[in-house]
Chains A and B, each alone.
Chain A
Amino acid sequence: MGGDEADLQTVVFSIPRGRVVAVDSAYDVRPANRGRDVVVNASYCGVLPARFLAEHAPRAAIGVDCAIGPEGAGIAGLWYLEALGIPAAAADVATVVLGDGAEMYESARISRVNDPAARCGVEPGMAVQAAARLMLERDPEERAAADVTNRTVMHTGPDGRQIVCTDSIAFGLPHDRGRNVLCTAGHTGRSAVPYLRRVAPWGFICSDGGRGRDESGLAGLHIVEDEGLAGATVDARTARMGDGLSTYRDGVISARNVLAAERGVEVGQPARLAALALLAGNPDEESAP
């Protein structure tokens, strides 16, 4: 099935290097969009519409998150497109009339982005209009997988200690040792233990990985206690795995070890507050950073 070619696409913005086209459905992407146009489509951002889009490999795409839904199916296509180097973002469904691409371009806001889109400067909360123009005007620079660490300093204490978000404990740096609180986003099972030991941060918050069988997703918390490492986990239902910023911003503490408890970390606390408690330490501890 399909319709007539040109009339399904509304050009809403144009510069010499390409256009922003609004379409009602991802199926309305066309060969003419290849490598050139940003396709704003009022379909969900699942794998299925992503396959359609990828066949014509537009410069970038923006769809709808459809409330994200079970298994993240409403945004799963972002990861498909990321693998192909195509910047893609989803708009918050509550700001969108499904099936109306032009209206979406006018009034919707971004909720989720893939890494190439982030490298174009697109962020959650941004208007679709602004996001589409960034995607049209900028080229995401190539990055090796090991360079996508998203290391971000969130807070610096009076003694110079910092709260640092990074996507995996494996991205810890030598100067984190004994000094920084790391908010990372892998699970805290036994395979995380060698990394925690070698990075040996002042404090850490990782994911509980959904806990897993026999609470294996947080087994590392108690193993590293013996080495004096204070740490906690966030509930994987509250923060996205693989996204350290989400651990810090969205996470709710699901478990902590004794050393973290002594610094005032509690189950049910927002990760942001737990990170501050870890940073401050407790009065009885050695405090030189």
Chain B
Amino acid sequence: MSKTLLEREQEHPQTVVDERDGRRVVIMDSARWVDERNRDRDVVIPASYIGVLPARMVAMHRPRGVIGHDACVGKDGAGIAGLWYLEALGIPAATADGMSAEMGNGQDLYQSGVLSYVNYPAERCGLRAGMSVREAATILRDTEATDVEVGNKIRREIVETHPSGRRIVVTDSIVWAYPEDEGISVLVTAGHTGRSGASFLLEARPWGFICHDGGMSKNRSGIAGLQTTAEHGLAGATIDGTTAPIGDAFLGYRDGRISARNEPAAERGVEVGMAVAEAAHLLLVGGEP
């Protein structure tokens, strides 16, 4: 069997652009050029897309952090799919917006790139969409990644409160409802609203809820829970799966639109097509006897 070009390749051009306490920021034009020099100590900035294929190449050398290019995300999210591969291995990783930096140009990525997506370990380090690649690289250089073990990660934030003590809580999954959410919180979550979601909602009994429609699915099963919960007097609505990704309630709250709502939610003024944040507010303030 003859060898692929990759296996025959000797040169891995890298440029060190920054260094502190032995930890370096290293730019390069391709993820294929990450190698053993980068193990454990370097934040690598390759101007490749961060799909699963480049992620495999990068992960075997375990750099400290990775910032690549999102290739405008593309079909099936293939331009950023490697973020999730690297997350599973505890490696902080982010991508720059495809229109903020040239593909295949590590220098431009470092100087002009603006972050578009981050994985969980990178988020924990303080990286955010909208941040410059240069700033993000410095943060990854100086911050130790935490909470990198495989398993459940709870993201939860109170985004609005009401004089009554009620509040809007954004959290990625309904299974992270606390007993104190019962009758108090409008939970904005990001799992689907099918029959399994409904059973969790009936157990949590929040003041209101907005979950994801799961792309609606066969027999509109992704929103079947709306009816079940209405029968128990719970007001709720779903996020249109074409407007916000499933699994990220924070993006759902920021970008999502309502695709369906049940009768108790309609009585509080929630309408199809409405912004999720507005619908959550109506669920919060409405429903007084």
Contacts and interface: CB of A to CB of B under 8 A. Distances in A.
Interface of A: 1-2, 24-25, 27, 42-44, 46-52, 54-55, 57, 64-77, 79-84, 93-100, 112, 114-115, 144-146, 148-149, 167-175, 185-187, 189-192, 195, 198-199, 207, 209-214, 216-217, 219-220, 236-243, 246, 250
Contact of A43 (B6, B117, B191, B219): B191
Contact of B72 (A66, A69, A84, A212): A212
B70 to A, nearest CB: 8
Given A95-B218, A187-B103, A243-B78, A83 B71 contact: no
Given A50-B84, A76-B77, A241-B51, A96 B72 contact: no
Contacts of B60: 144-145
Contacts of B166: none
Nearest to A96: B218
A216 B150 contact: no
- Those 7 A-B pairs whose CB atoms lie nearest each other, nearest first: A72-B77, A210-B72, A67-B215, A189-B104, A73-B245, A99-B194, A98-B194
Contacts of B77: 68, 70-73, 75-76
Contact of A213 (B32, B100, B199): B100
Nearest to A86: B88
B175 A1 contact: yes
B56 A148 contact: yes
Contacts of B30: 191
Contacts of B99: 212-213
B223 to A, nearest CB: 9
B234 to A, nearest CB: 16
Interface in B50-99: 51-57, 59-60, 69-82, 84-89, 98-99
Interface of B: 2-7, 9, 29-30, 32, 47-49, 51-57, 59-60, 69-82, 84-89, 98-105, 108, 112, 117, 120, 150-153, 172-173, 175-177, 190-192, 194-200, 203-204, 214-219, 221-222, 224-225, 241-248
B245 to A, nearest CB: 3
23 contacts: A42-B196, A46-B245, A46-B246, A66-B192, A66-B217, A67-B215, A71-B245, A73-B246, A79-B84, A94-B218, A97-B218, A99-B192, A99-B221, A169-B5, A170-B6, A189-B47, A191-B30, A191-B104, A191-B105, A198-B5, A209-B98, A213-B101, A240-B74
Contact of B89 (A48, A76, A77, A83): A83
Given A27-B175, A55-B150, A79 B74 contact: no
Contacts of A82: 52, 85, 88
Nearest to A77: B84
B85 A98 contact: no
B185 to A, nearest CB: 14
Given A43-B192, A55-B151, A186 B48 contact: yes
Contacts of B78: 72, 236, 240-243
A190 B219 contact: no
A54 B150 contact: yes
A46 B4 contact: no
Given A76-B84, A94-B217, A242-B51, A70 B244 contact: yes
A226 B139 CA distance: 42
A79 B85 contact: yes
Given A99-B196, A146-B4, A242 B217 contact: no
A150 to B, nearest CB: 9
A51 B173 contact: no
Task: Pick the most buried of B57, B71, B175: most chain A CB atoms within 10 A of its CB.
Answer: B71
Contacts of A95: 218
A212 B103 contact: yes
Contacts of A112: 76
